[in-house]
Amino acid sequence: MTKRLVTIGNGMVGHRFLEQMAAKGADWELICFCEEPRVAYDRVNLSGYFAGKTAADLSLVAPDFYKDNNIQVHVGDKAVRIDRANKTVTSAKGVTISYDKLVLATGSYPFVPPIKGNDLPGTFVYRTICDLEATEAYAKDCKVGVVVGGGLLGLECANALQNLGLKTHVVEFMPRLMPVQVDDAGGATLRQKIEDLGIGIHTGKSTTEIVADEHGRVHKMQFADGTELLTDTIVFSAGIRPQDELARQCGLKIGDRGGIAIDDNCQTSDPDVYAIGECALYNNQIFGLVAPGYRMAEVAADRLCGNETNNFTGADMSTKLKLLGIDVASFGDAFGKTAGSKVIAIDDAIAGTYKKLVVNEDGTRLLGGILVGDATVYGTLLQLMQNQMALPPHPEDLILPHRSGVSMAMGVEQLPDTAQICSCNNVTKGQICTAIQEQELRDIGSVKSCTNAGMGCGGCVPLVTDLLKAELKKAGIAVNNNICEHFAFSRQELYSLVRSQDIHSFQQLLDRHGTGRGCEICKPLVGSILASAWNDQILDAPHVSLQDTNDAFLANIQRDGTYSVIPRIPGGEITPDKLIVLGQVAKDFGLYTKITGAQRIDLLGARVDQLPLIWQQLVAAGFESGHAYGKALRTVKSCVGSTWCRFGVQDSVSLAIEVELRYRGLRAPHKFKSAVSGCTRECAEAQSKDFGIIATEKGWNLYVCGNGGMKPQHAQLLAADLDKETLIRYVDRFLMFYIRTANRLERTATWFNKLEGGIEYLQAVIINDSLGIAEELEAEMAHQVATYACEWNATLQDPAKLQRFQHFVNTDAPDPNIVVIEERGQNRPVFEHERQLSELQLK
């Protein structure tokens, strides 16, 4: 007869145990008691609940997992008694079930310090979704919240309170934050960074009493040093205690300070009863992290399935976390307790990082360390320590900031095959490499799903990626520049196919050279190439489905699904009448207005159904599309030049307008910008543009491939003192050459940095026509200029195109989800935490 295994507790570890049993195909009848009203969920990311994650998002149980595996789960029914003599478990609802083996995964409960007033209305703990729901409901009427406990859980909880919109304080008894994981200097760095987020930190505070207001609710905290702190609610998150009550009742061996004693097999003092997770005490140690709990679940499952070789031998308490967006890692002998150990530490107050290595006496092995503010090297350091690898001659290089030309001291190749890469799911380098080779894995997603590496906290993903790259390189598999799974070509190759084979639609190209249906990578790319080559309207029927949503609706999508509208203002010159029109349109439609960085006016907050109405008014007033939505020319910025300025030497505004009108609407691998300055003072900042023009006494200097933005780069002088006709000719050639040869989403600056031969090469191609293509390039540009038509004007005249500008296909109603709030006299979209509030006000 099938033997029966009863599990008490359905937390993260309890669930992992059942998953392991199911995966091993064990011949057991599985029954589980779950005290909470919902099955296992991700307690580690609990604070995400207030950042918009739902209970369903947090669930760890695949739909129908228990049903499909024949596991009986008693949800919302707490096991209250174990009768070891008769081998039965009885629940609160009165169910009694006999067992052959029993697994306790009862977890832990939050420690609430014995302070007067710790049970007043307004005090909460932080452990379950029910706790969060209670806190959230109470916090609706609160402004200030205090977390008692500055450890790992306390800071997670502070994140949760801040997500609720409360002014948040953290009160810690010890003199620093995260006293278990970091030292004083690390605690100070962490404190600074958290205070910068607007959270109050109060360390070294011993709470003597929580005082109630006249309604008997939490009002303030009093501390031993005579100070006090006003607050509306308090959440205790000051550590955990093993939930060992059931085990005590039935006489299992319990540690002096709590915890169900287990051996290497995860067996308790009764060989028929196992204990795993935070309720278990191994070698007088409780493991309050999920990874060791998972490890115990694995050992217990193996034992129950007859595999006697898997032992629990303790666990490394190394941790890497992101708390409130701040990296914190602590591993090995973080406090340098090993005799003779030495410390290398870098406390960078400017970068806000603290990094410490603990090394052995002769500086050859890493024993542990602490990282605060930047833990990118955690994976490497952990490997060095766990595998007792020799440190490089200057171990400090491991924690010094990366500088160009200096590579990391350790490559993944040096790791032994036994090195544990993913500690959450216990996956070694050997397992990952074997899977890559045998299953011919080619991308990081398949490596993750086939090996389970990186599916826990995700901290090892960079290492797994490095492993994949190294393996592919070893196997001689060229890392190709195919744009996506649908086309085995680069962008440049596709561009030349489209031109040379006279291809005019995505379907034609796909039929001849591709496979499948296409995707969000190749469709906009081909849409852009077709536009660069033939200049058909992008919203024409065969092309509309290729366009990114910005191009598809000729406006820029914002985070709430509304759009921004930016009409063209060539050269930044605008008449008072047109300014008034923009203001009036914004008023009529309740739009938020802002001056952009490129001398234009942005009207934000337009619903998709409002876009045609807005543009009707704009087109009627003489505006045209500004192409702010496209990978196209954005703007040609200018200074007032010689028209007004006493220093100006040329008419920069007229040239800027001419240049902007010439290249408007031109689709390219990425957006591009330009500017014209009227003298060498360079007020238009032309040297930060994709192409920039600066007036000289004798004509115009042409600069190319500059960039502001993410990685600023000065433009290079391509040619000096040009007359206007030559200047335009060079710009024509330059832009078309870029469109022909750049990669997808590659700005001119990045493209230039990869050009062998640099500016001299570019000068040879553009000025001296070294490739013999100048005439072609000019002709291609001439076609573009001649076929330009305003996309908005064309759309307004075509009822079929206008049909798409509607939120619902089956009603004229707008999207009810769009909610705005007023700030500084204008509308802006609400943030998630404001949404409920404003919905209440609407009611």
Partner 1 sequence: MSQTESIQPITKQWTTICPLDRILPNTGVCALVNDRQIAVFRVGEEEDVYAIENLDPFSKAYVLSRGIVGDHNGIPKVASPIYKQNFSLLTGECLDDLTIKLQTFAAQVVDGQVQVHG
CB of 557 or CB of 621, closer to partner 1: 557
User: Given the structure tokens 């909880």, which residue do they identify?
Assistant: 157
Cβ at position 518, least distance to partner 1 in Å: 5
Question: Tokens representing 582?
Answer: 């923009």
Decide: is 664 part of the binding site for partner 1 (CB under 8 A). Answer: no
Indicate the burial class of 792 (C-beta count within 10 angstroms; 0-12, 13-18, 19 or more): buried
For helices 724-741 and 758-766, angle between their N-to-C axes, nearest 10 degrees: 110
CB of 484 or CB of 497, closer to partner 1: 484
Q: Could you tell me the strand order of the sheet in which 233-236 lies?
A: 123-125, 233-236, 144-148, 167-171, 200-202
Count of residues engaged in binding partner 1, rule: CB under 8 A: 49
Decide: is 584 part of the binding site for partner 1 (CB under 8 A). Answer: no
Decide: is 661 part of the binding site for partner 1 (CB under 8 A). Answer: no
Decide: is 553 part of the binding site for partner 1 (CB under 8 A). Answer: yes
Candidate residues 3, 67, 257, 714; the one interacting with partner 1 per rule CB under 8 A: 67
Under DSSP, is residue 421 helix (H, G, I), strand (E, B) or coil? strand
Decide: is 524 part of the binding site for partner 1 (CB under 8 A). Answer: yes
Indicate the burial class of 598 (C-beta count within 10 angstroms; 0-12, 13-18, 19 or more): buried
Decide: is 813 part of the binding site for partner 1 (CB under 8 A). Answer: yes
Candidate residues 2, 3, 23, 52; the one interacting with partner 1 per rule CB under 8 A: 52
Which contiguous run of DSSP H or E holds residue 592?
Answer: strand 592-595
The secondary structure of 106-154 as a DSSP string is: --EEE-----BTTTSTTEEE-SSHHHHHHHHHHHTT-SEEEEE--SHHH
Q: In whole angstroms, give the CA distance from residue 371 to residue 377.
A: 9
Q: In whole angstroms, give the CA distance from residue 839 to residue 66.
A: 38
Helix boundaries (H) for 333-460: 378-386, 429-438, 444-451
Candidate residues 339, 786, 809, 840; the one interacting with partner 1 per rule CB under 8 A: 809
Given a contact cutoff of 8 angstroms between Cβ atoms, the answer to whether 217 and 204 are in contact is no
Cβ at position 549, least distance to partner 1 in Å: 3
Candidate residues 44, 410, 557, 820; the one interacting with partner 1 per rule CB under 8 A: 557
CB of 540 or CB of 588, closer to partner 1: 540
Decide: is 540 part of the binding site for partner 1 (CB under 8 A). Answer: no
User: Given the structure tokens 């690898």, which residue do they identify?
Assistant: 389
Q: In whole angstroms, give the CA distance from residue 96 to residue 98.
A: 7
Decide: is 57 part of the binding site for partner 1 (CB under 8 A). Answer: yes
Decide: is 72 part of the binding site for partner 1 (CB under 8 A). Answer: yes
Decide: is 98 part of the binding site for partner 1 (CB under 8 A). Answer: no
Decide: is 209 part of the binding site for partner 1 (CB under 8 A). Answer: no
Decide: is 449 part of the binding site for partner 1 (CB under 8 A). Answer: yes
List phi, psi (to 5°) of 468.
-60, -50
Given a contact cutoff of 8 angstroms between Cβ atoms, the answer to whether 487 and 522 are in contact is yes
Question: Tokens representing 372?
Answer: 């605060």
Candidate residues 86, 404, 500, 803; the one interacting with partner 1 per rule CB under 8 A: 803
Candidate residues 407, 575, 811, 841; the one interacting with partner 1 per rule CB under 8 A: 811
Q: In whole angstroms, give the CA distance from residue 562 to residue 817.
A: 10
Cβ at position 520, least distance to partner 1 in Å: 4
The full 3-state SS of 754-807, as one line of letters, equals HCCCHHHHHHHHHCCCCCCCHHHHHHHHHHHHHCCCCHHHHHHCCHHHHCCCCC
What is the distance in angstroms between the CA of the first residue and the CA of the last residue of the chain?
Answer: 61
Cβ at position 168, least distance to partner 1 in Å: 23
CA triple 697-702-707, angle to 5 deg: 130
CB of 423 or CB of 547, closer to partner 1: 547
Cβ at position 58, least distance to partner 1 in Å: 9
Decide: is 839 part of the binding site for partner 1 (CB under 8 A). Answer: no
Cβ-proximal residues to 419 (8 Å cutoff; 6+ apart), any chain: 383, 386, 387, 428, 429
Given a contact cutoff of 8 angstroms between Cβ atoms, the answer to whether 170 and 163 are in contact is no
Candidate residues 400, 519, 574, 745; the one interacting with partner 1 per rule CB under 8 A: 519
List phi, psi (to 5°) of 135.
-65, -45
Candidate residues 549, 593, 643, 696; the one interacting with partner 1 per rule CB under 8 A: 549
For helices 724-741 and 774-786, angle between their N-to-C axes, nearest 10 degrees: 100
**Binding track over 285-314 against partner 1, x by CB under 8 A:** ------------------------------
Candidate residues 177, 178, 552, 749; the one interacting with partner 1 per rule CB under 8 A: 552
Q: How many residues does the chain have?
A: 843
Decide: is 55 part of the binding site for partner 1 (CB under 8 A). Answer: no
Decide: is 75 part of the binding site for partner 1 (CB under 8 A). Answer: yes
Decide: is 810 part of the binding site for partner 1 (CB under 8 A). Answer: yes
Decide: is 86 part of the binding site for partner 1 (CB under 8 A). Answer: no
Which contiguous run of DSSP H or E holds residue 809?
Answer: none
CB of 73 or CB of 104, closer to partner 1: 73
Over its C-alpha atoms, the chain yields an Rg (Å, rounded) of 33
Decide: is 832 part of the binding site for partner 1 (CB under 8 A). Answer: yes
Cβ at position 380, least distance to partner 1 in Å: 26
Q: Which stretch binds partner 1 (CB under 8 A): 113-121, 224-232, 711-719, 813-821?
A: 813-821
**Binding track over 713-752 against partner 1, x by CB under 8 A:** ----------------------------------------
Decide: is 180 part of the binding site for partner 1 (CB under 8 A). Answer: no
Q: What count of Cα atoms within 13 Å lies in the side-chain half-sphere of residue 612? A: 16
Candidate residues 250, 317, 488, 544; the one interacting with partner 1 per rule CB under 8 A: 544
Cβ at position 510, least distance to partner 1 in Å: 11
Which contiguous run of DSSP H or E holds residue 330?
Answer: strand 326-332
Q: In whole angstroms, give the CA distance from residue 689 to residue 686.
A: 5
Candidate residues 404, 817, 841, 843; the one interacting with partner 1 per rule CB under 8 A: 817
Q: In whole angstroms, give the CA distance from residue 589 to residue 614.
A: 8
Q: Which stretch binds partner 1 (CB under 8 A): 201-209, 242-250, 380-388, 539-547?
A: 539-547
Q: Which stretch binds partner 1 (CB under 8 A): 59-67, 118-126, 146-154, 358-366?
A: 59-67
Candidate residues 225, 520, 723, 834; the one interacting with partner 1 per rule CB under 8 A: 520
Cβ at position 60, least distance to partner 1 in Å: 9
List phi, psi (to 5°) of 400.
-75, 150
Decide: is 66 part of the binding site for partner 1 (CB under 8 A). Answer: yes
Under DSSP, is residue 748 helix (H, G, I), strand (E, B) or coil? helix
Candidate residues 171, 546, 585, 633; the one interacting with partner 1 per rule CB under 8 A: 546
Question: Tokens representing 404?
Answer: 């160009």
Decide: is 545 part of the binding site for partner 1 (CB under 8 A). Answer: yes
Footprint on this chain of partner 1 (rule: CB under 8 A): 39, 52, 57, 61, 66-67, 72-75, 77, 445, 449, 455, 485-486, 516-520, 522-524, 541, 544-549, 552-553, 557, 559-561, 608, 803-804, 807-811, 813, 815, 817, 832
